[in-house]
Chain A
Amino acid sequence: MKSFYGFIRKEFLHIFRDPRTLLILFGMPIAQIMIFGYVVTNEIRDIPIAILDQSKDQATREIGNKLISSGYFNLVMNLTSLDEVEPAMKRGNVKEVIVFEPDFRKKLESGIPGSVQIIADASDPNTANLIVNYTFGIMQDYMKQYQQGKPNIITPEVRMIYNEGLKGVYMFVPGTMALILMLISAMMTSISISREKELGTMEVLMVSPIKPFQIVVGKVVPYIVLSFINAVVIILLGFFVFGLPVKGSLILLLLESLLFISLALSLGILISTVSNSQMVAMFISLLGLMLPTILLSGFIYPIENMPLVLQLISNLMPPKWFIIVIKNIMIKGEGWQYIWKETLIMIGMTAFFLLVAIRKFKIRLE
């Protein structure tokens, strides 16, 4: 047991003496949260637009003002003819042009629908979609006001529950947490084990009386501790910087995080059994874990929109289940009864990876 403590102390020495490791361990989580929080966001703000108003009446002016005062749009140009539309778009500083037809208000008053053309720059399709939807929403809002008192229109009352403000943090904090825990736990353990192989110290450890499982556990314990600290830091950052509450049980959330950390660590051990150098371990971790985590876990792209094959594959991605679990706990405030299935899947995956890793570890010894 004493030799085991010595082993863990040695691991901590490695970690604290390597500035790069420290940077990855503690710099990356904070940097990523900040980047995802401030840069990668689906919310739109101050989109440059132009208006071609061929009617110039009260209605078109009111709609224009409504758009600009919403804060989503910024009027950068008033156009005078349709010929100016394309050049304005091509110069790239206008993302959307709104064209009102002549006699817009007159038509409205006489009961004929007035038409508005919305031209959006779809070189970035997602943003174009968003912009158009926002514009459309504002215009409908105006129509409601205009038609006040007149019957026969449907007024849907929309309420976005669980995330009333449609804030992006609600999506990216759970995703980033999964990404970081996955990366740190799996990549760092696989690198630290394969480093011993690369340096030749693994041979010496193997020849010594210390047992293989003690080596593995000794390697893993420091990263469990540090990853757990990271999980707490991310939750705190989400709360204090981005105002993301933890509606459900904090203890449950931390326990689930611990489970996911173990899952990632067992993957890390597995990776280290197939790689003999730190480089290989890092590449496998980055390509094999980071990309699927970002692309297939539902972190950024909704799983429901994927082709069936990818949807099936996404079931194999451990972060997918973790993201579902933490979203349920943090945002919906649900308890154990809603996440036990996902939890069981993660426990199953952990057990599976550990078994395979231990088998592989033993085979290598032979």
Chain B
Amino acid sequence: MHAKHIVVRGLTKKFGDFTAIDQLNFDVFSGEIFGFLGANGAGKTTAIKILCGLSYPSSGEVNVAGFDVYTQTEQLKMNIGYMSQKFSLYEDMTIYENIRFYGGIYGLGRKELHAKSEQLIRKFGLVNERNSLIADIPQGWKQKIAFSIAILHDPKIIFLDEPTGGVDPITRRQFWELIYEVSGNGITVFVTTHYMDEAEYCHRVSIMDEGKIVAIDTPNNLKSSFGAANMDEVFVKIARGAEK
């Protein structure tokens, strides 16, 4: 078995009387692509915030990348990456300037930044666009560049919060190729999505409902245990079950 990159035990988060997250227990292993699903309002965002060290749990144990979320948020933040649906690049800056800025925040040196940006520009064949502003680069590329910048500092885990929202199918596919690539390099990918076909790409998925994890397994096991043809059906069955 691989090393555990995320360990969650009895995680609960309350806002006043409202329990947003109720007794979560799960592990995520290194190099794994872990799908974190759930309807809107199921508590996904709250959970991600806690895992990223932005918010403290009300109770429970959470360890991310080997660091405790209560006491070691600083080291934790150095070892994770984050990307959301909104492009996190500055449109009025060039690729290199974005890289220099984000890399600088994580304390990367000048030489390292230069090498990394060269590598990135060549990888995506953007040699001619190296000095153009992000605003002038095609949408599909922005997503990939944003992703590459999110893992610039070699994090152990990358959190992707609905990274492919509002993106065309081809770009989504290419994006998942990138995800597989980094997972192959040993980076753990923690991804939320509303696209059930994407859920099929994950090694394992968990499905949240009303603050609880109601199912957690590989997509294939989930499909067979729910007697469903695809993840979409699994999701609908779980949602219906919750309504009853």
**A interface residues (Cβ-Cβ under 8 A, vs B):** 2-3, 5-7, 9-10, 13-14, 17-18, 199-201, 203-210, 365-366
Contact = CB atoms under 8 A, between A and B. Distances in A.
Contacts of A210: 105
B93 interface: yes
Q: Dominant SS at the A interface?
A: helix
A206 B83 CA distance: 11
B83 A204 contact: yes
Contacts of B89: 201
Contacts of A17: 92-93, 133
Given A10-B90, A208-B77, 9 more contacts: A10-B93, A17-B133, A199-B87, A199-B91, A200-B85, A201-B88, A204-B102, A207-B53, A207-B159
Given A200-B86, A201-B88, A209 B101 contact: no
B18 to A, nearest CB: 14
Given A13-B97, A365-B55, A203 B82 contact: yes
Contacts, number: 78
A207 B77 contact: yes
Contacts of B41: none
B104 interface: yes
A208 B86 contact: no
Contacts of B84: 200, 203-204
Contacts of B100: 6
Contact of A206 (B54, B91, B93, B97): B54
Interface in B40-60: 52-56
A209 B93 contact: no
Interface of B: 52-56, 74, 77-78, 80, 82-93, 97, 100-102, 104-107, 133, 150, 159
Contact of B105 (A6, A199, A200, A203): A6
Contact of A7 (B74, B105, B107): B105
B92 A18 contact: yes
Contacts of A206: 54
A14 B90 contact: yes
A204 B106 contact: no
B202 to A, nearest CB: 21
Which of B89, B104, B159 has its CB near the most chain A CB atoms (within 10 A)?
A: B104
Contacts of B150: 204
A2 B53 CA distance: 22
B37 to A, nearest CB: 20
Given A7-B105, A207-B77, A13 B82 contact: no
B107 to A, nearest CB: 6
30 contacts: A3-B105, A3-B106, A5-B104, A6-B100, A6-B105, A7-B101, A9-B101, A10-B97, A13-B97, A17-B93, A17-B133, A18-B92, A199-B91, A200-B84, A200-B88, A203-B82, A204-B84, A204-B88, A205-B105, A206-B54, A207-B54, A207-B82, A207-B159, A208-B82, A208-B102, A208-B106, A209-B77, A209-B78, A210-B105, A366-B55
Nearest to B74: A209
Nearest to A195: B90
Contacts of A201: 86, 88-90
B88 A13 contact: no
